[in-house]
Amino acid sequence: MQKYRRKVAMHQSQYLPWPPYFRKMAQADVFILMDSVQYQKNGVQNRNKIHSANGPLWLTIPIGGSLEQDICTKLPVNEQWRKKHIQSIRSSYSKTRFFSVHFDAIAEMIQSSGPDLHSINMALILYFRAVLGISNELRLLSELAVSSRKNQMVLDSCNVVGADLYISGSGALDYMDRRSFQNAGVSLAVLQNDIPHYTQHHQPAVAGLSMLDWLMQDEIDTIRQYLNKPMELSYD
């Protein structure tokens, strides 16, 4: 298998992302956090799911403004969501194994981060990176002076950071122009979502939750093994 010098992955700024988000992040040499792309309504840029005593629960930051705005310019319409999210996390996880390890720090970031949506997301992502031991290079799209969109934006970003392999999620394949990557000397690989299974306090178990759920209930070393296990990539 070819050895690549600089593997790069990208993803939109998200609120309390799920484990595959951090797995893709951990597998790259450089992770580009897309803060200056258009906000997606009904996506997971401002919401994610945890596991409450009554089943899956969406934690949603209420966002105002135009749908044409970028994530980094979106603002919550009120501040009440902060207290609600903290209370929901406390009631859902107060009896889990690692609640006391993580709750205070996460609650403080939910309470004080901001003001814009990306800044809120970024504070929590940085916490997850720290506790999960993800120490690769983290760049913001807004810092790269890339103004193109979709496929060209990804390729231009790869060129700016000197990538020779771009790790894509399967959801981006619809707009990826494989030939343009080939012509630029950037290999393209697809990392499928690997959804972990672990023991959950609330039953029945639910898949596809925020990393917060797993972090509250399992050993850090177990989660790190998932993040760092060798990639199973398909190449173009």
DSSP result, 47-74: EEEEEETTEEEEEE--B-S-TTSBGGG-
Tokens representing 233 are 């990539």
Instruction: Give domain limits for the chain.
Output: 7-235
pLDDT at residue 235, as a whole number: 54
pLDDT of residue 50: 98
Percent of the chain scored above 90 by pLDDT? 81
Cα diameter, the chain? 54
Q: How confident is the model at residue 234 (pLDDT cuts 50, 70, 90)?
A: low
pLDDT digits (tens, 9 = 90+) for 35-62: 999 999 999 999 999 999 999 999 999 9
pLDDT in tens, 169-192: 877 777 788 889 999 999 988 888
* Most confident range, picked from 43-47, 166-170, 190-194, 232-236: 43-47
Of 9, 4, 2, 7, nearest to 29 by C-alpha is: 7
Which tokens belong to 164?
């020779």
Amino acid, res. 75: L
Stretch 210-217: mean pLDDT: 98
State yes or no: pLDDT of 166 exceeds 90: yes
Helix axes 19-27, 117-132, angle to 10 degrees: 70
pLDDT at 200 over 80: yes
Whether a cis peptide bond, with omega within 30° of 0, leads into 115 is: yes
Contact 124, 106 (CB under 8 A): yes
C-alpha–C-alpha distance, residues 20 and 90, integer Å: 24
Q: At what angle do helices 220-228 and 117-132 cross, to 10 degrees?
A: 100
Query: Tokens 């990176």 map to which residue?
Result: 129
The confidence band for 160, taking pLDDT boundaries of 50, 70 and 90, is: very high
For the segment 79-109, what is each residue's pLDDT rounded down to a tens digit?
Answer: 999 999 999 999 999 999 999 999 999 999 9
DSSP type of residue 3: P
Q: Is the separation of the CB atoms in 181 and 157 below 8 Å?
A: no
